């Protein structure tokens, strides 16, 4: 009887959290483990959440990509790495990343590089470009785009 009570409490708690914010299966599985729910019950709860559309991985991925791009100013490489760590399907990740407008993406990268350029202290142009390249890579932008932008700098 106690197991059924824990199952019901965990299901209700998971539904409440999923109704307030987007979660992926990996996040919910981690939460259920922390709450002490057994593996078989966890899988049943996850099945129910998916069936009732509380969890939708493509919706979660689209929201994650939009937020990390807009607010954290991350590049596609870093976003994809974080989503991959959550064991999301690669086709879902690719589809969400493709939703980013290329013009906005390039514009954001220009803004980030120009903004960081003002704060970087470099001995020469080569040193400046190296530091800006490392910064852009750490934000998760593709090296080919960074090279194109950095080669256009004065």
Write out the chain in H/E/C secondary structure.
CHHHHHHHHHHHHHHHHHHHCCCCHHHHHHHHHHCCCCHHHHHHHHHHHHHCCCCCHHHHHHHHHHHHHHCCCCCHHHHHHHHHHCCCCHHHHHHHHHCCCHHHHHHHHHHHHHHHHCCCCCCCHHHHHHHHHHHHHHCCCCHHHHHHHHHCCC
**From the CB of residue 40, how many other CB atoms can be counted at a distance below 10 Å?**
10
Do 93 and 62 fall within a single domain?
yes
pLDDT beyond 50 at 1: no
Kindly state whether residues 109 and 143 are assigned to the same domain.
yes
Whether residue 109 is found in the same domain as residue 132: yes
**Model pLDDT for residues 77-113, shown as the tens digit of each residue:** 999 999 999 999 999 999 999 999 999 999 999 999 9
Task: Count structural domains, the chain.
Answer: 3
Do 67 and 106 sit in the same domain of this protein?
Answer: no
- The number of residues making up the chain comes to 154
In this prediction, residue 154 has a pLDDT band, given cuts at 50, 70 and 90, of low
Q: Are residues 65 and 80 in the same domain?
A: yes
CATH number, domain with residue 68: 1.10.10
Task: Looking at the structure, tell me whether residues 146 and 111 fall in a common domain.
Answer: yes
* pLDDT given for residue 2 in this prediction: 52
Do 91 and 106 reside in the same domain of the chain?
A: no
| Structural domain range at position 107 | 102-151
Cβ-Cβ contacts under 8 Å for 149 (sequence gap 6 or more): 109, 110, 113, 136
In the chain, the percentage of residues whose pLDDT exceeds 70 is 98
- For residues 79 and 42, membership in a common domain is answered with no
Q: Distance (Å, rounded) from C-alpha 125 to C-alpha 135?
A: 15
Question: Do 83 and 121 belong together in one domain?
Answer: no
Same domain, 116 and 146: yes
């Amino acid at each position: 009887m106690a197991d059924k009570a824990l199952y019901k409490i965990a299901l209700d708690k998971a539904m409440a959290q999923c109704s307030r914010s987007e979660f992926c299966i990996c996040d919910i599985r981690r939460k259920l483990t922390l709450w002490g729910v057994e593996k078989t019950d966890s899988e049943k709860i996850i099945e129910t959440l998916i069936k009732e559309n509380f969890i939708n991985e493509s919706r979660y991925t689209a929201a994650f990509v939009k937020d990390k791009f807009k607010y954290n100013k991350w590049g596609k490489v870093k976003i994809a790495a974080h989503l991959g760590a959550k064991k999301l399907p690669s086709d879902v990740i690719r589809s969400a990343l493709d939703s980013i407008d290329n013009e906005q993406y390039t514009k954001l990268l220009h803004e980030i590089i120009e903004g960081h350029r003002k704060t970087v202290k470099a001995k020469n142009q080569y040193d400046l470009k190296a530091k800006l390249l490392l910064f852009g890579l750490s934000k998760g932008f593709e090296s080919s785009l960074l090279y194109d932008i950095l080669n256009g700098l004065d």
